[in-house]
Amino acid sequence: MNTAAATLLAAVGFGSRVQVVAILVTVIMLLVVIDLVRRRRLVERYALLWMLVALTLLVLATWDELLGWGSELVGIEVPSNALFLAAFAIGALLLLNFSVAISKLSEQTKMLAQEVARLDAQIRQLADDGENGTGTDGPAADGTTAGGAN
């Protein structure tokens, strides 16, 4: 990073290099999520979740005292350990959320596959009936057409 940008960030109150990097990474994460939504590669439901995570990280990166206060409240001596615990908890919640979504999609896929198989069997049965002369389009066994008139 050039010295002018570092000086500007230090003047605004962002002193440490780690804090500046955390803010930049969080902003990049937000921009990537917005771009994925714009290109329709990420649905809004998940985009809101990722944006909430990114905004939480942004708040923690810019507000030093919040992380210290939160770690003292929970009883963790080192704030960075509290940050790791929070990141682990967020990761576990995201995994649980996506596991529920995948389970739901798996069940829907199974039901759709069963419906397709049923419809395919029905089409094959209708085709077999048509070839054997018992369908509605061909002549009946008594020589009349399906409409009843000869």
User: What band does 13 get if pLDDT is binned at 50, 70 and 90?
Assistant: low
Nearest-CA neighbor of 15 among 83, 86, 76, 64? 64
Determine contact, residues 57/22, Cβ cutoff 8 Å.
yes
- Residue 51 CB coordination number (10 Å): 16
Following DSSP, what letter does each residue of 94-121 receive, concatenated? HHHHHHHHHHHHHHHHHHHHHHHHHHHH
HSE-CB at 60 with a 13 A cutoff on CA atoms is 21
Tokens representing residue 66 in the block: 């919040």
For position 10, what pLDDT does the model report?
A: 52
| More confident position, 64 or 9 | 64
For position 32, what pLDDT does the model report?
A: 94
Determine contact, residues 49/91, Cβ cutoff 8 Å.
no
For position 63, what pLDDT does the model report?
A: 83
For position 11, what pLDDT does the model report?
A: 47
pLDDT digits (tens, 9 = 90+) for 32-89: 999 999 999 988 888 988 888 888 888 887 887 888 898 899 998 888 788 788 888 8
For position 58, what pLDDT does the model report?
A: 84
pTM score: 0.58
pLDDT digits (tens, 9 = 90+) for 90-119: 889 889 989 999 999 999 999 999 999 999
For position 21, what pLDDT does the model report?
A: 84
